[in-house]
């Protein structure tokens, strides 16, 4: 099986994108998605846009094939704005494909049909397949929107969508490998979990040729991929916690809105990060019939 990886640049590919940058594997994936049986991978014209990154990594692959313009994206988290992102990406591809063809002429320019597919393997529970539409975001709903764009989302988690995975053996092996990494991560550090998954996969003849040729790259890609996903998860959790704190603080001020709050007391309340203490102050604010009573109940008599 020939290897045709994308050029090495300053960014890193996700393993999924690196694996399916090979046209033979990409054709197998396309046939599974479209229910076709094409055999010549050289008919595929890869036209992935440069500088379109997620967490500083390439997670998309676009190509023209048999009058279709396909955009394949790998995601481990759901995002309601995927239809909008896909539309903007496809629009850039159309602009690239029609450059110099005279879009203001009287001659109709034929366009390949757009086909946007997201391959999802996150931990959030998802059905085997679902559709997201751009029109879902419209402020005025319409049954027949004048412009719409849809995204087909395919769950590729191992054992979650075996009917689809069986149509693409390479994708099934990839899903098995990712599942192995996750299982090993429950008891091993990330790097060791990846190494053990590589060893186990080769023993079971799973992605064996690919891992023997790109084992060190796979380890590097997954270390980067998982580390950045953990960073995003931590940042999201911190943002949620920060939002909860701000919500409690604003609730206190709403409950005390009948009183003139001294600046020092306001700064003291806004600076608090302890959730339990803020809950105590909320109860005090709800119970108090005066600002002085709030201070006494909340233990803030020293703050003027």
Q: Are 79 and 35 in contact (CB under 8 A)?
A: no
- Cβ neighbours of residue 190 closer than 8 Å, sequence gap 6 or more: 223, 226, 227
Mean pLDDT in residue range 82-111? 90
Q: Check residue 69 and give left, alpha or beta (phi > 0: left; psi -120 to 50: alpha).
A: beta
Torsion from C-alpha of 101, 107, 108, 109, nearest 10 degrees? -10
> Taking 90 as the threshold, does the pLDDT of residue 48 lie above it?
no
Q: Are 150 and 174 in contact (CB under 8 A)?
A: no
Residue 1 is predicted with a pLDDT of: 39
Please name the helix (run of DSSP H) or strand (run of DSSP E) that holds residue 70, with its range, or none.
Answer: strand 68-75
Closest to 62 in 3D by CA, of 26, 33, 13: 26
Residue 57 is predicted with a pLDDT of: 42
> Taking 70 as the threshold, does the pLDDT of residue 237 lie above it?
no
Lowest mean pLDDT among 34-38, 150-154, 190-194: 190-194
> Taking 60 as the threshold, does the pLDDT of residue 52 lie above it?
no
Tell me how far apart the alpha carbons of residues 51 and 80 are, in angstroms, rounded to a whole number: 22
DSSP letters, 143-195, are SS-SS--EEEEEE-STTTSHHHHTT-HHHHHHHHHHHHHHHHHTTS-HHHHHH
Please name the helix (run of DSSP H) or strand (run of DSSP E) that holds residue 223, with its range, or none.
Answer: helix 208-255
Q: Six-digit token pair at 181?
A: 């990494």
Residue 6 is predicted with a pLDDT of: 38
Question: 257-260, long-range: CB within 8 Å, 24+ apart, which pairs?
Answer: 259/290, 259/291, 259/294, 260/291
Residue 231 is predicted with a pLDDT of: 47
Residue 150 is predicted with a pLDDT of: 95
Q: What is the 8-class DSSP label of residue 8?
A: P
Tell me how far apart the alpha carbons of residues 120 and 141 are, in angstroms, rounded to a whole number: 27
Chain segment 101-155, per-residue pLDDT in tens: 888 888 999 999 999 999 999 888 899 999 999 999 999 988 899 999 999 999 9
Q: Are 125 and 161 in contact (CB under 8 A)?
A: no
Q: Six-digit token pair at 53?
A: 């990154």
Highest mean pLDDT among 25-29, 48-52, 55-59, 265-269: 25-29
SS3 275: helix
Q: How far is CA 247 from CA 143, 177, 270, 273, 294, in A?
A: 37, 42, 11, 12, 19
């Amino acid at each position: 099986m020939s290897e045709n990886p994308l050029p090495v640049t300053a960014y890193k590919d996700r393993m999924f994108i690196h694996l399916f940058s090979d046209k033979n594997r990409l054709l197998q994936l396309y046939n599974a998605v479209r229910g076709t049986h094409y055999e010549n991978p050289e008919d595929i014209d890869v036209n992935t846009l440069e500088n379109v990154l997620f967490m500083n990594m390439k997670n998309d692959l676009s190509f023209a094939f048999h009058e279709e313009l396909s955009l394949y994206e790998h995601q481990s988290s759901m995002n309601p704005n995927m239809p909008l992102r896909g539309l903007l990406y496809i629009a850039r591809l159309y602009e690239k494909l029609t450059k110099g063809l005279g879009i203001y002429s009287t001659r109709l320019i034929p366009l390949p049909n757009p086909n946007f597919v997201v391959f999802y393997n996150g931990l959030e529970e998802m059905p085997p397949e679902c559709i997201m539409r751009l029109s879902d975001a419209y402020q005025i709903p319409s049954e027949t929107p004048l412009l719409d764009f849809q995204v087909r989302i395919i769950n590729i988690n191992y054992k979650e969508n075996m009917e689809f995975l069986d149509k693409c053996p390479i994708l099934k092996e990839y899903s098995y490998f990712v599942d192995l990494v996750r299982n090993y991560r429950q008891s091993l550090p990330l790097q060791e979990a990846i190494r053990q998954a590589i060893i186990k996969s080769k023993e079971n003849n799973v992605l064996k040729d690919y891992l023997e040729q790109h084992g060190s790259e796979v380890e590097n890609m997954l270390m980067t991929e998982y580390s950045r996903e953990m960073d995003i998860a931590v940042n999201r959790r911190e943002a949620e916690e920060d939002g909860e704190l701000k919500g409690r603080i604003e609730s206190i001020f709403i409950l005390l809105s009948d009183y003139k709050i001294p600046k020092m007391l306001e700064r003291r309340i806004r600076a608090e990060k302890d959730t339990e203490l803020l809950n105590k102050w909320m109860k005090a604010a709800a119970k108090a019939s005066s600002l002085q009573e709030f201070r006494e109940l909340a233990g803030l008599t020293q703050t003027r």
